[in-house]
Amino acid sequence: MLDRHTIDTVKSTLPLLAEAGPALTAHFYQRMFHHNPELKEVFNLSHQHSGRQPAALFDAIAAYGTHLEDLSVLTAAVERIAHKHTGFLIEPAQYAIVGEHLLATLRELGGEAVTDEVIEAWGKAYGVLAQIFIDREAALYQQAAEQSGGWQGTRPFRIQAKIAESALITSFELVPVDGGAVPNYQPGQYLSLKLTHPSLPHTEYRQYSLSEQSNGERLRITVKRDGQVSSLLHDQFQPGDVLEVIPPAGDFVLATDADKPVTLISAGVGITPMWAMLETRLGQSAAPTHWLHACDNGEHHALKAALQGKLAQSPMLQSVVWYRQPNADDRLGLDYHFTGLMQVGDVADALPLEGDFYLCGPQPFMATVVEQLRQLGVADSRIHYELFGPHQAL
């Protein structure tokens, strides 16, 4: 544990961090990549360019410094980040590198206020946090390796099938090259790929939601064409090709009791973890399940035919779909029910507002929907969500 003097010293610098803002973490990343370019393989550079990763790291540092007396407040955040880290095969030694550059950044940007005493205090505080992550990630690695069909590191999987789900979204069904067992996973978790290809300047890690319920036979991911790596998967990787796969991970999972109602809400490719939840839910529960989805139009409506099949088989499943700009051949009342952006209030009377709500989609979409749910009286404790990429509060 940290002593009182260290805690007070760290907290005294929080106004300095607030003044610097995400520029501090942007400088940190630039510094680290300059001195340790090998870490470019670990961090998604598109999130660097968008500013999402520096902003997320700044928020994490500020939260950690604020709650040094009671780190249990950060348990959920630590769990989420630790799962993400296992998908990048983060090793304990890398925490030392990150710590070195964080402290150097504080010294370089903090001016006279950042004394040796401040650096020492932040060094101690960072050491405690790093050990929390190292210990939790070690446990997750061990858990993934010891379960039936599990492994640690990467394992080669062959693309068994490649299925176009919409104009921009394609599913990849993967089976292990060694013919061994496939581990079970929880609905909502994701799979990580370690990708190398002549067109890529360095190894890339990407995480994609598992888009069907666990079946012990294969792993299916569903990928939107959105950037260099996802386009590479769409264009270059075909059935028979082999991908290096990292075990399933993620803490955004369906955790509602089978006898309680659930509403699954998604937009665009955010449908992918929701679909695994839906399949699992329908196989386990006779309670009401509501499915709300938004996309541009029928051309971009992934898994539309599969949804119609579920509706025909499951009387306790209710679906409402919003098309932002329907095409001429999209059928109101059949393919979709509302035009424009999702407005949960349109169907609030039919929703079990006392139940749990699971959301996935673009950040602006989810921020809007979360606010709509709050206005309808849904408690934050019953709103669960996943952001693709660095996590942000909504």
Q: How far apart are CA 340 and CA 97, in angstroms?
A: 47
Task: Enumerate long-range contacts of 54-57, CB under 8 Å, 24 or more apart.
Answer: 54/22, 54/25, 54/26, 54/28, 54/29, 55/22, 55/25, 55/390, 55/392, 56/390, 56/391, 56/392, 57/25, 57/28, 57/29, 57/390
Task: Return the SS3 of 149.
Answer: coil
Instruction: Tell me which DSSP letter residue 10 carries.
Output: H
Would residue 95 show up in a list of annotated catalytic residues for this protein?
yes
Residue 108 is among the residues annotated as catalytic for this protein: no
* φ, ψ at 313 (rounded to 5°): -95, -15
Mean pLDDT of 370-386: 96
Confirm whether pTM is higher than 0.85: yes
Q: Could you give the domains of the chain?
A: 4-146 (1.10.490.10), 155-249 (2.40.30.10), 262-387 (3.40.50.80)
Instruction: Please state, in angstroms and rounded to a whole number, the distance separating the CA atoms of residues 267 and 223.
Output: 14
Residue 326 marked ligand-binding: no
CB 183 within 8 A of CB 150: yes
- pLDDT tens for each residue of 340-353: 999 999 999 999 99
What one-character DSSP code corresponds to residue 336? B
Binding site annotation covers 207?
Answer: yes
Is 269 annotated as ligand-binding?
Answer: yes
Q: Distance between CA 387 and CA 7 in Å, rounded?
A: 31
Confidence of residue 255 (pLDDT cuts 50, 70, 90): very high
Q: How many CA atoms lie within 13 A of 281 on its CB side?
A: 29
Is 206 marked as a binding-site residue? Answer: yes
Between strands 155-164 and 169-176, the pairing is: antiparallel
Is residue 22 within 8 A of residue 62, CB to CB? The reply is no
Question: Is position 2 annotated in a ligand binding site?
Answer: no
At residue 163, the 3 state secondary structure works out as strand
Q: Is there a binding annotation on residue 361?
A: no
Within 8 A by CB and 6+ apart from 30, the residues are none
- Segment 10-51, tens digit of pLDDT: 999 888 888 887 788 888 889 999 999 988 877 765 555 544
Confidence band of 392 (pLDDT split at 50, 70, 90): low
Backbone φ and ψ of 94, nearest 5° = -70, -25
Top-confidence residue, 388 or 234: 234
Strands (E), 250-284: 262-267
Residue 209 is assigned to a ligand binding site: yes
Tell me: is residue 268 an annotated ligand-binding position. Answer: yes
Of residues 29, 64, 95, 205, which has the active-site annotation?
95
pLDDT digits (tens, 9 = 90+) for 90-128: 999 999 999 999 999 989 988 888 899 999 999 999 999
pLDDT of 394 > 60? The answer is no
State yes or no: pLDDT of 169 exceeds 90: yes
Reported confidence tier of residue 194, pLDDT bands at 50, 70, 90: very high
Active-site choice (29, 64, 126, 137): 137
Question: 150: annotated binding-site residue?
Answer: no
Beta bridge partners of 219: 174
* Cα 293–chain centre separation: 18
Where in the chain does DSSP place strands (E)?
155-164, 169-176, 190-195, 204-209, 219-224, 242-249, 262-267, 289-295, 317-323, 338-339, 356-360, 383-386
Q: Is the pLDDT of residue 202 over 60?
A: yes
Q: How far apart are CA 174 and CA 189, in angstroms?
A: 16
Q: What is the pLDDT of residue 112?
A: 86
Is the pLDDT assigned to residue 263 strictly greater than 80? yes
Residue 230 is labelled as binding a ligand: no
